[in-house]
Amino acid sequence: MLKGKHIVIGVTGGIAVYKAVDVVSRLKKLGADITVIMTKNATEFVSPLTFRSLALNEVVVDMFKPPTTWDVEHIAIAQRADLFLVAPATANIIGKMAHGIADDMLSTVVMATKAPVWVAPAMNTGMYTNPVVQRNMDDLRSLGYQFIDPDSGRLACGDIGAGKFAQPERIVDTIVRAFRDKDLEGKHYLITAGPTQEAIDPVRYITNHASGKMGYALAEEVLSRGGQVTLVSGPVHLDPPRGAELVPVVSSQDMFEAVMARADHADVIIKSAAVADYTPSDYSPVKMKKSDGNLSIGLKRTQDIAKNLGQQIGQQVFVGFAAETHDLIENGKKKIKSKGFDFIVCNDISQAGAGFKSDTNIVTLIDKDEKVVAYEKMLKTDLACVIIDKTKTYMK
């Protein structure tokens, strides 16, 4: 994802430095060329050797170390940067940046760069909420600096509150998004994800194995390209994509109502959720007690969300999913006609690496003209890019 991109990472002195090691590792695995600049205080927490081993580049610490080339080092680093990330950023470096102080290598290079600068603060809650620190951050935002807000929770000092270094995966996702073309600006995607749960009684329900990973990957892809996302999600164990409007639902009826109420405002509708086709005919308000005999539960059809949407769809791009165990192409073609999809994403869940809960998928895309394109196994994050690219070809 980041091949050919040069990222300069400024590391300042705080206990969260050890998490910056993970950030560097993740960015490197995505292909980025990384230069790490450490303040002297940062080296008290983690050795420069650690960052050098991960970034596979020399780590810069000393402003006055004899140069290995005849470049003016701080200018050369600043000019090479495609993006500058300060992580963790202490109150001290934020104050320096806000007031134009350049008294070490990191603050000097930040001053000299013309690359976008992202700042990931990490500090004690009292420091983070201090009006002076907040004012400094506001001043930097007004100048175009962008912040990755810290998490809230238990800090190293034992306090509980805001100021906890953002999770490395969130920082990396933010940086990846920053490099993406914003080709979906002004476009609104309505995406469904996950399973539904159909209650039998207050204890039991009927559901399926859907994890929501595909729908959430689609949402992340749209957001990374500047689009808006409304994500109608059944119960899953995934962190909601930052920036999406999350609409949590439980039952198929909940999802039906949520989708139908929002469909008119979307440019693209993607039905990736595994919605129950049947729900118990009678819900018991009290727990059904077991007995020695068998138990029969009557089932009735749920409302067909895709069919209802297909009947009222206007200019929106409409995409469906089909999880099958046999007759993949035949069933996919039938479904695309009966529901009114522009194209459908079909997968044979009996194949290894193509079923629910997996991070990968093996799919065949069928469009309304019955053109069939099969894809090899790929990560769902990569497949999300394929699907979103295809939605663009249908946009008016």
- The rounded distance, in Å, linking the Cα atoms of 80 and 307 is 53
Sign, CA torsion 389/174/216/308 = negative
Yes or no: say if 247 and 262 are a contact pair by the CB < 8 Å rule. Answer: yes
Q: List 367's β-bridge partners, or say none.
A: 343
Tokens of 112: 């000299």
Q: Where do we find the tokens 């204890």? A: 203
> DSSP states of 359-378 as a string?
SEE-EEEEETT--EEE---E
- The rounded distance, in Å, linking the Cα atoms of 250 and 267 is 25
User: Could you count the other beta carbons within 10 Å of the beta carbon of residue 306?
Assistant: 23
> DSSP states of 252-271 as a string?
HHHHHHHHHHHGGG-SEEEE
- The rounded distance, in Å, linking the Cα atoms of 24 and 9 is 8
Tokens of 394: 């249908």
Tokens of 359: 């991070």
- The rounded distance, in Å, linking the Cα atoms of 275 and 254 is 11
Yes or no: say if 6 and 32 are a contact pair by the CB < 8 Å rule. Answer: yes
Sign, CA torsion 63/65/71/72 = positive
- Kindly provide the residue ranges of all beta strands, DSSP E only, lying in 32-100, ordered along the sequence: 33-38, 83-89
Q: How many residues does the chain have?
A: 396
- The rounded distance, in Å, linking the Cα atoms of 155 and 164 is 6
339 class by beta-carbon count within 10 Å (0-12 exposed, 13-18 middle, 19+ buried) = buried
Catalytic residues: 157
Tokens of 267: 């440019």
Query: What are residue 152's phi and psi, to 5 degrees?
Result: -110, 145
- The rounded distance, in Å, linking the Cα atoms of 271 and 337 is 15
